[in-house]
Amino acid sequence: MATATTVELKIQRFDPERDNEPHWQTLTVPVEPMDRVLDVLTRAKELFDGSITFRRSCAHGVCGSDALLINGRNRLACKLRVEQLGKTITVAPLPGLPIVKDLVVDMDGFFEKYRSVQPYLVASPVEGSGERLQSAEQRDRFDDTTKCILCAACTTSCPSFWAEPEYVGPAAIVNAHRFIFDSRDENAEARLDILSDEDGVWRCRTTFNCVEACPRGINITKAILEVSSAISTRE
Ligand code: SF4
Ligand code: F3S
Ligand code: FES
């Protein structure tokens, strides 16, 4: 490998079998001009310390598994070029979730909240062709929120979630929005009931951290306000 230069990679480490609390490990890692943070983490693991632990799968911004706190902001390691960060790269796990090991967090609570909003189509059988027709305008109503990859960058950047971990969080609301405003769905009222409780949409303080963190560019705060409005205006 013809290495162009190096970066200082600071990784937050934590091994529950050895450590009482997290600590930092700094490595000088060779990098190529087009490297992403995921490439640097992978190289650090291959060259220096095979015990460095992190999640990744697709490496192309699709699976959502490598969201991390990188230089102070939640981002996907596979979507962030090293040249965007300078000579020091600091990598820590997503804030506000229990650490399993190093950069891996426990996502069970996150996915439990996701499931709590019934993120699937509920619709009666249709006669004839079996197709559920939808106009382009009806489809467009929830197009933005179909883009979510469940990376958790939004929820774990939200001060309301940090303060009150029972808050269902922006990711779950985004995925509720995707079905609440789907003209084919028949279960919007149940989702609005779920999101109107004390840990639902009212905990949002329109801080916008979630929008800044979202690697899919979803206008999360707008989606939350649309769900809040649907709750407020229903009969
Ligand atoms: Fe990730 Fe964006 Fe989905 Fe939140 S809304 S989980 S930041 S893709
Ligand atoms: Fe949190 Fe986003 Fe609302 S950061 S407070 S969910 S606008
Ligand atoms: Fe799949 Fe980054 S590894 S989104």
Report CA(49)–ligand 1 centroid distance (Å).
31
Q: Are residues 113 and 217 in the same domain?
A: yes
What pTM was estimated for this model as a whole? 0.95
- Transcribe 69-119 into DSSP letters: EETTEEEEGGG-BGGGT-SEEEEEPPTTS-EEETTEE--HHHHHHHHHT--
Q: Are residues 129 and 75 in the same domain?
A: no
Burial class of residue 41, CB neighbours in 10 A (0-12, 13-18, 19+): buried
Q: Are residues 201 and 88 in the same domain?
A: no
Report CA(1)–ligand 1 centroid distance (Å).
35
* CATH code where residue 141 lies: 1.10.1060.10
Query: What is the spatial distance between Cα 1 and Cα 156, in angstroms, rounded to a whole number?
Result: 36
Q: Are residues 86 and 112 in the same domain?
A: no
Q: Which residue's CA is the closest to the ligand 1 atom numbered 7?
A: 214
Q: Give the residue numbers spanning the domain of 140.
A: 108-232
Query: What is the spatial distance between Cα 201 and Cα 170, in angstroms, rounded to a whole number?
Result: 8
Query: What is the spatial distance between Cα 101 and Cα 155, in angstroms, rounded to a whole number?
Result: 20
Strand 88-92 vs strand 5-13: parallel, antiparallel, or unpaired?
Answer: parallel
> Which phi and psi angles does 93 have, rounded to 5°?
-70, 160
The residue whose CB lies within 8 Å of the most ligand 1 atoms, and thus the one to mutate among 58, 75, 150, is 150
Final residue of a structural domain among 76, 105, 134: 105
Q: Per the structure, how many domains does the chain have?
A: 2
Report CA(81)–ligand 1 centroid distance (Å).
20
Q: Per-residue pLDDT for the chain (235 aa), expressed as one digit of tens each? A: 454 699 999 999 999 999 999 999 999 999 998 999 999 999 999 999 999 999 999 999 999 999 999 999 999 999 999 999 999 999 999 999 999 999 999 999 999 999 999 999 999 988 887 889 999 999 999 999 999 999 999 999 999 999 999 999 999 999 999 999 999 999 999 999 999 999 999 999 999 999 999 999 999 999 999 999 999 998 6
Q: Which residue's CA is the closest to the ligand 3 atom numbered 3?
A: 59
Report CA(73)–ligand 3 centroid distance (Å).
16
